[in-house]
Amino acid sequence: MRDFVNIFLKHDIRDLQHIIRFIGCCGLACFTLLVLFGVPVVEAQDRYPVPWEKVAKETLEHFQALVRMDTSNPPGNETKPAEYLQKVLKKEGIPAELLALDPNRANLVARIRGNGWFKKPILVMGHTDVVGVQKEKWSVDPFAAVRKDGYIWGRGTLDDKDNVTAGLMLMLLLKRLGVKLERDVIFLAEAGEEGFDKEGLRYVIASHWDRIDAEFALAEGGGGVIKDGKVQYMAVATTEKVARGVRLIARGTAGHGSRPRPDNAVVRLANAVARIGAWMPTMRLNETTRVYFERLAEISPPEKAARYRALLNPKEQAEVEGYLAQNELSHNSMIRTSISPTMLKGGFRTNVIPSEAEAYLDIRALPDEDMGKFIERMKEVIGDPNVEIKSNPWRDAAPASKLDTEMFAALEKVQKRLYPGSVTLPMLLTGATDMSQLRVKGVQAYGIEPLMQEEDIRQGVGAHSDNERILEKSLHDFVRFMWYAVLEVAASK
C-alpha cells in the first residue's frame, strides 16, 4: 500500500497507467481461467445479432443518396455529403462534427466511445470526393445511382462512397445495438483525396490529430475477387510504393541545326532515357510481398503457382522476373523500385540545337529504398556526367503496416468465416493512398474494398472508369465484413 501511496504522490501519470494495466492483466487472467474451465464465451458477433435485411435497405438508401451528390474534385463540394452524414448520425444520437479548412470542403468526424481503459481507437475512413466524369462515355447518368443488372452504377460507387457508406452503417449499428466497446471507434469521411488537396486528411492530421489518433485504421485500397461465383481472395493493403520522381537534365552547346554537334543535349538526353528504360533495378521482397506471393501460389493454377514460388527462390528468380516484366506489370512493379519516363522537353525551334533538354522520370520506390544510393546507381547506369539528376526534397516514407496485429488477424478471421476456402493477401499497392500519412504517424492502416467479379476487373469497370459500378450484393457483404472485423477488435470480450 505504501508503494501505491508513493506512486500517487511522487510519480507521474505513467505509473498510474501501469497500475491500470496491472488491473487489466488480472482481469485478463481471470477471463483466461474462465475460458480454460469451460465457461462458454459468446463471440461478439453472436451477442449482437443484426437484422441484415433491414440494414440492407437502409444501406442502399444512404449509398444512393451519397452517389447522387456530384462531388467531382475539383471542386469537390464535400460539405454536402458531410452535412448529410452529420444529420443521419445526429438523428441517431451520435456526435459528429465538421472540420473544414474551406467551408465548401468539410471533413466529418464522429466517434463512439468505448471504455478507453487500455486500447487506442480504430479509425474507419472513406473519402467523399470523386474523380470527374466524361458523361458522354457513360451508358447511364453517372450521378443517378441507377440499379441495373444486380449493380449500382455511378461515379464513386467503388471509389469511395462504398467505404463511406460502410463506415456510416457501422456507426449506426454500434450505437443502436449498444455494443460495449473496449476502444473508441472513429469514423472519418474525408474531403479532397483525389488529387493533391490540402483540405482533406492532410488538414485533419495537421490541425485535429487528436480527433482521429488511433491504433488501427481501415480505409480503401485492397480488394477481393469472385471467380465462377466463388471468392478467390481478399487483398488487404498493408503498404505502398512511394512516389520519388526526378528530372534528368542533359546539357550541351547550343548551335545551328545545319551543323551537327558531338555534344547535342537532345542526343545526350535520349541516350540517358534509353539506358534508364532498359535498366531493371534489383528485385527485393518484403514481409508483405513475400506472404503475398506465397499465398497467391496457393490459389493459382499450377503453371502460375510454380512461377510465384520460383520468385521466392533466389536461384530461380531471374527467369521469372523477365516474365513478369513482360506479362504481369503490377507484379513486376511490386518487387522493385520502378522507373517510367513520362515527359520529354527540349528545344524551341526546328533549326536550333538547344543547350538543354529535360525528361521526367516517374520513380515509384519500395517503402524502404535508400534513395541516395539509388540515385548513385542511376548515375552509373546513365554514365554521362553531362546529365544531371534533379529532385525536390522528399517526404518521409511510411513504414509498412504489420501482419501480426490484432486487426490483421481479425480481417483474416472474418474473411475465413464469410468466405471459406479463400485466402487473405497482404498487398503492397503500387499507387499512393492517404494511408501513408497515417502510417507515418504510427497508425497500423489496412486497405479493404468490396468484392469484384473477375470479369468486371478484366473489362475495366473499376474505380475511375467510365461505367464504374458495384455489385449490389458486394456492397451489403462489405458492410457486414466491416461490422464483423470492427466488432472483433473493438467489442468488449
Would you say 220 or 477 has its CB closer to Zn ion? 220
Pick the stretch among 43-51, 157-165, 249-257, 390-398 that binds Zn ion (CB under 5 A): 157-165
Would you say 200 or 354 has its CB closer to Zn ion? 200
Pick the stretch among 28-36, 60-68, 162-170, 213-221 that binds Zn ion (CB under 5 A): 213-221
Minimum Å distance from CB 206 to Zn ion?
A: 21
Minimum Å distance from CB 167 to Zn ion?
A: 13
Would you say 201 or 359 has its CB closer to Zn ion? 201
Pick the stretch among 50-58, 75-83, 214-222, 242-250 that binds Zn ion (CB under 5 A): 214-222
Rounded CA gap, 97 and 87, in Å? 10
Per-residue contact string for residues 365-384; x = within reach of Zn ion by CB under 5 A: --------------------
Pick the stretch among 45-53, 151-159, 305-313, 366-374 that binds Zn ion (CB under 5 A): 151-159
Would you say 114 or 223 has its CB closer to Zn ion? 223
Distance from chain centroid for Cα 135? 27
Pick the stretch among 97-105, 153-161, 259-267, 391-399 that binds Zn ion (CB under 5 A): 153-161
Rounded CA gap, 40 and 236, in Å? 32
Minimum Å distance from CB 94 to Zn ion?
A: 24
Minimum Å distance from CB 131 to Zn ion?
A: 8
Q: What are phi and psi of 264, to 5 degrees?
A: -60, 120
Would you say 160 or 369 has its CB closer to Zn ion? 160
* Total of residues contacting Zn ion (CB under 5 A): 3
Would you say 73 or 286 has its CB closer to Zn ion? 73
Pick the stretch among 217-225, 286-294, 332-340, 400-408 that binds Zn ion (CB under 5 A): 217-225
Q: What are phi and psi of 26, to 5 degrees?
A: -60, -45
Rounded CA gap, 444 and 314, in Å? 30
Rounded CA gap, 31 and 39, in Å? 9
Candidates 29, 219, 224, 154; CA nearest to 464 is 154
**384 DSSP 8-state letter:** -
Minimum Å distance from CB 433 to Zn ion?
A: 7
Minimum Å distance from CB 160 to Zn ion?
A: 4
Pick the stretch among 128-136, 155-163, 273-281, 318-326 that binds Zn ion (CB under 5 A): 155-163
* The three grid cell numbers given for residue 382, joined into one nine-digit string: 546513365
Contact predicate 126/161, CB 8 Å = yes
Minimum Å distance from CB 299 to Zn ion?
A: 26
The only residue of 78, 159, 199, 321 in contact with Zn ion, by rule CB under 5 A: 159
Minimum Å distance from CB 93 to Zn ion?
A: 30
Rounded CA gap, 34 and 28, in Å? 10
396's CB contacts (< 8 A; 6+ apart) are 440
The answer to the question of residue 78 lying near Zn ion (CB under 5 A) is: no
Beta strand pairing call for 338-346 and 151-153: unpaired
Pick the stretch among 68-76, 215-223, 240-248, 416-424 that binds Zn ion (CB under 5 A): 215-223
Candidates 346, 378, 449; CA nearest to 127 is 449
Minimum Å distance from CB 193 to Zn ion?
A: 6
Pick the stretch among 154-162, 173-181, 424-432, 438-446 that binds Zn ion (CB under 5 A): 154-162
Minimum Å distance from CB 426 to Zn ion?
A: 19
Contact predicate 481/414, CB 8 Å = yes
The answer to the question of residue 160 lying near Zn ion (CB under 5 A) is: yes
Rounded CA gap, 177 and 174, in Å? 6
- How many helices and strands, by DSSP H and E, does the chain display? 17, 20
Task: State which amino acid sits at residue 409.
Answer: A
Contact predicate 448/124, CB 8 Å = no
Rounded CA gap, 218 and 380, in Å? 42
Minimum Å distance from CB 479 to Zn ion?
A: 18
* The three grid cell numbers given for residue 94, joined into one nine-digit string: 451520435
Would you say 361 or 463 has its CB closer to Zn ion? 463
Would you say 159 or 369 has its CB closer to Zn ion? 159
**Residues facing residue 301 across a β-bridge:** none
Minimum Å distance from CB 127 to Zn ion?
A: 6
Would you say 127 or 244 has its CB closer to Zn ion? 127
* The three grid cell numbers given for residue 58, joined into one nine-digit string: 437502409
Would you say 221 or 252 has its CB closer to Zn ion? 221
Rounded CA gap, 191 and 198, in Å? 9
Per-residue contact string for residues 414-433; x = within reach of Zn ion by CB under 5 A: --------------------
Minimum Å distance from CB 465 to Zn ion?
A: 13
Would you say 429 or 485 has its CB closer to Zn ion? 429
* The three grid cell numbers given for residue 445, joined into one nine-digit string: 492502416
Would you say 154 or 354 has its CB closer to Zn ion? 154
Beta strand pairing call for 151-153 and 387-390: unpaired
* CA distance readout (Å), 170 to 23, 162, 340, 359: 31, 12, 41, 48
* The three grid cell numbers given for residue 311, joined into one nine-digit string: 520468385
E-assigned strand segments in 198-320: 216-219, 223-227, 230-240, 242-243, 246-251, 255-256
Return residues touching Zn ion (CB under 5 A).
159-160, 220
